[in-house]
Amino acid sequence: MSVSVSSRLVYNCCLAYPERIDTEWLDKNPGRLFHTDTMLKDRKLMLQNKSCESCHWGCYKYEEQGLKSTRTSIKHVKIKDIESPLKNLQISLSTDCNLMCAYCQPEWSSAWHRDIVKNGEIVLDGSSINKSNWSTLWNKMKQKNRSTDTKFFSLLLREIELATSLEQITLLGGEPLLNNMLSTLIENINDKEVIIVTGLGVSKKRLQSFLSTVKNKKLVFNVSGESTGANFEFLRFGCEWEDYCDKIKIISDSGHQVKFASTMNNISLLDFPNFYDKFSKDYKIECSMVRERPFMLPHVLDDISKEKIIDWMMSHEDKQKFMLFVDSIKNVPDEKSRVNLANYMGQMSKRRGVDYNFLPNHFRNWYSSPSI
């Protein structure tokens, strides 16, 4: 389950609709943050394979449209006790982030939120990027409720201490390394694996200063990245490639574990072989599919690009790991995705003042050719 500190929201699972926690209630009910009355009621319905408001938000509403949901497509271990102690917890400290990754959005990154407020929404056919009520509310809440956040944070530390079966805590953002509470939180976590999910959108100075505060801990840094050079700087806008590589070295040299999380999408695939060959000998790289931008799915590519990347994957010694993506790349893109991609690239180029010389001509000509 997940907790968002800045908004005092708890999620019964990663896709569930959240519940807002009343700090006075939590103060009087120690040990109940991960077992609120609403959660227990929802878990009962889950075991009966019935929908509830929270599950409808993340899964059932998709199933009603005949689509697959996470609930139906992932094999879960069934836990029958609704009071079962929590083993894994994800904590989102805030949505503060300096980066605007190409497939992120205002709900998760304050830099994206600011960009949409300043430059207006990115209008696309069915996939527009706008500041939802959700992100606006979150940004307002952060300003207004700072004192409450502090109280919630200390109560959360108490809840973690009481959750003796907890084995792993994953810290998320935005960018967790920007959060001033990070060291305090880690200091208070004993005998549990701590994973920091980061895009490394912080200065070297800040990173080094953070590392000096956690010298006696062994942390896992799960770093986002999937391409190199100018391709990386487009996808992970706000972070420079050379600076990123330096920061990876700083973390490794300080004795913490580094793993990579690569989000496979059409743009990154044009350079993914360089990223993989650079890091895969020394680090574990886990690949997952892009989720939020249909026009950035791996198959929304021209035929020459597809052939090149499939050839590379099929001849690689780690070929088995890539089979899911090979199958996905082989799908035929629809016209709507190609046009949305062209519009997105056009709008991003104007906002950022960048050209796309780093992309192969055959790909640029393909997505920008007129509709038939």
Whose Cβ is closer to ligand SF4: residue 33's or residue 239's? Answer: 239
Shortest separation between residue 76's beta carbon and ligand SF4, angstroms? 25
Shortest separation between residue 224's beta carbon and ligand SF4, angstroms? 6
Candidates 106, 199, 225, 333: give the one binding ligand SF4 (CB under 6 A): 199
Whose Cβ is closer to ligand SF4: residue 42's or residue 115's? Answer: 115
Q: Specify whether the CB–CB gap between 150 and 179 falls below 8 A.
A: no
Distance separating alpha carbons of residues 61 and 71, to the nearest angstrom: 11
Shortest separation between residue 84's beta carbon and ligand SF4, angstroms? 30
Total number of residues that touch ligand SF4 (CB under 6 A): 12
Where would I find the H helices in 303-334? Answer: 303-314, 319-330
Distance separating alpha carbons of residues 217 and 161, to the nearest angstrom: 17
Whose Cβ is closer to ligand SF4: residue 58's or residue 174's? Answer: 174
Shortest separation between residue 189's beta carbon and ligand SF4, angstroms? 22
Whose Cβ is closer to ligand SF4: residue 232's or residue 366's? Answer: 232
Candidates 173, 225, 298, 333: give the one binding ligand SF4 (CB under 6 A): 173
Q: Specify whether the CB–CB gap between 97 and 199 falls below 8 A.
A: yes
Distance separating alpha carbons of residues 96 and 171, to the nearest angstrom: 13
Residue number with the shortest CB distance to ligand SF4? 199
Q: Specify whether the CB–CB gap between 221 and 196 falls below 8 A.
A: yes
Kindly write out the interface string for residues 98-137 of this chain, putting x where it contacts ligand SF4 by CB under 6 A and - elsewhere: -xxx--x---xx----------------------------
Residue 331 is given by DSSP the state S
Shortest separation between residue 102's beta carbon and ligand SF4, angstroms? 9
**Strand 88-92 to strand 168-172: parallel, antiparallel, or no bridges (unpaired)?**
parallel
Contact stretch for ligand SF4 (CB under 6 A) within 34-42, 173-181, 302-310, 333-341: 173-181
Whose Cβ is closer to ligand SF4: residue 174's or residue 333's? Answer: 174
Tokens of 189: 């976590």
Tokens of 96: 């503060």
Strands, E, within the chain: which ranges? 2-4, 9-11, 19-20, 88-92, 100-101, 168-172, 193-198, 220-224, 236-237, 257-264, 284-289
172 strand-pairing partners: 92
Positive or negative, the Cα torsion across 330, 334, 340, 343? Answer: positive
Whose Cβ is closer to ligand SF4: residue 101's or residue 359's? Answer: 101
Contact stretch for ligand SF4 (CB under 6 A) within 168-176, 185-193, 213-221, 293-301: 168-176
Rounded alpha-carbon distances, angstroms, from residue 62 to 80, 162, 291, 336: 25, 36, 14, 21
Kindly write out the interface string for residues 6-45 of this chain, putting x where it contacts ligand SF4 by CB under 6 A and - elsewhere: ----------------------------------------
Whose Cβ is closer to ligand SF4: residue 34's or residue 210's? Answer: 210
Distance separating alpha carbons of residues 292 and 184, to the nearest angstrom: 33
Look at residues 327, 324, 367, 322 and name the one whose alpha carbon lies nearest to residue 344.
367
Whose Cβ is closer to ligand SF4: residue 112's or residue 363's? Answer: 112
Site for ligand SF4 in 306-365 (CB under 6 A): none
Look at residues 210, 200, 185 and name the one whose alpha carbon lies nearest to residue 236.
200
Candidates 52, 97, 122, 196: give the one binding ligand SF4 (CB under 6 A): 97
Distance separating alpha carbons of residues 72 and 318, to the nearest angstrom: 28
Residues at the site binding ligand SF4, with contacts judged by CB under 6 A: 97, 99-101, 104, 108-109, 173-175, 199, 201
